Chain A
């Protein structure tokens, strides 16, 4: 029996398996404070670096520019401005999204960073950079301390996301 890869290609075997991987992620001191405020108070918090005149959202522990510790927590939003928008036609698993989902980078009022989230209550053709939007929080009983405690962003003055 010679070692000929072409001769026996059909006989080659494969092993199938599945490794269960479980993980538990805690948000850390800054993330805990940020998500706790979302869950319990429907407020969006950032931290401010006075030295660099920058407000980070979500709030973080140190300034990414000067590495100074950040202790100045301030509320931002819930309204903001769209900085970028895209239309997603495919879900994570590759299936078609019908209708398509709008995703936007939102700069919350008072923040220097942007937040990536869903955009609703607006037609894709009307979702433009510069559009004024606001965060739509889920009811308090549905909030779990997740970024999805905000159901999405919607144009200012629109009641349904």
Chain B
């Protein structure tokens, strides 16, 4: 539809006109400072990560254990019953080879974001994280992985307290 509009009404301005001061303008720089309250469920989840534990939450009524924690069950809307420590082991549910960074820079070695279904969740529930310690062409859905944690003193209560997940063999 927009292709059919030959010329738009109004005044067209060029970058040049503004930079050379031929058109007056005001530059403004605002800093939008914010504080995001993680809330009860995520707050404790982050505290758990700092302590080296991945916490899920359990709804007894629906017989569900999910991660990341949430305050109420989105199936029955009742408050969750309890926090449950989960193993830091799971299987790759899905993954991607990512050749651009978050700020759109090309990279030769891909990042490998993955959804990892953690053991102890039911039905299998996953968190998004990175895979590491494996060649990109060896990654496959269903492979078992284990969390590689930052040293305790470097952990700050963030999802990045887990550096990545690496291949894990049972036993």
A interface footprint on B51-66 (CB within 8 Å = 1, 0 otherwise) = 0000101000000000
Contact present for A26 and B18 (CB under 8 Å): yes
Contact present for B32 and A19 (CB under 8 Å): yes
Contact present for B31 and A15 (CB under 8 Å): no
Q: How far is the CB of B38 from chain A (nearest CB, A)?
A: 4
Question: Once bound together, how far apart are the Cα atoms of A20 and B31, in whole Å?
Answer: 5
Contact present for B37 and A14 (CB under 8 Å): yes
Indicate if A145 sits at the interface (CB-CB under 8 A).
yes
Contact present for A36 and B24 (CB under 8 Å): yes
Contact present for A8 and B32 (CB under 8 Å): no
Indicate if B100 sits at the interface (CB-CB under 8 A).
no
Question: Once bound together, how far apart are the Cα atoms of A51 and B90, in whole Å?
Answer: 77
Tell me the dominant secondary structure on chain A's binding face.
mixed
Contact of B38 among A13, A27, A36 (CB under 8 A): A13
Contact present for A35 and B71 (CB under 8 Å): no
Indicate if B108 sits at the interface (CB-CB under 8 A).
no
Contacting residues, chain A, for B57 (C-beta < 8 A): 3
Contacting residues, chain A, for B26 (C-beta < 8 A): 24-25, 146
CB nearest to B55 among chain A residues: A1
Given A3-B83, A12-B38 in contact, is the A21-B23 Cβ separation under 8 Å?
Answer: no
Stretch from B41-49, B119-127, B133-141, B144-152 that touches the partner: B41-49
Indicate if B171 sits at the interface (CB-CB under 8 A).
no
Contact of A25 among B25, B29, B46, B47 (CB under 8 A): B25
CB under 8 Å from chain B, chain A span 10-32 = 11-29, 31-32
Contact of A19 among B34, B82, B157 (CB under 8 A): B34
Question: Once bound together, how far apart are the Cα atoms of A18 and B39, in whole Å?
Answer: 19
A interface footprint on B9-46 (CB within 8 Å = 1, 0 otherwise) = 00101000010000111111111111111111111101
Question: Once bound together, how far apart are the Cα atoms of A19 and B44, in whole Å?
Answer: 26
Q: How far is the CB of B3 from chain A (nearest CB, A)?
A: 27
Shortest Cβ-Cβ A-B pairs, 10 listed: A12-B43, A145-B24, A1-B83, A19-B32, A21-B30, A13-B38, A15-B36, A13-B43, A25-B26, A23-B28
18 contacts between A and B (CB under 8 A): A1-B55, A3-B81, A11-B47, A12-B38, A15-B36, A17-B35, A17-B36, A18-B31, A18-B32, A18-B33, A18-B34, A19-B31, A20-B30, A21-B29, A22-B27, A24-B28, A25-B28, A32-B24
Residue positions of B touching A, CB distance < 8 A: 11, 13, 18, 23-44, 46-47, 55, 57, 71, 79-83, 157
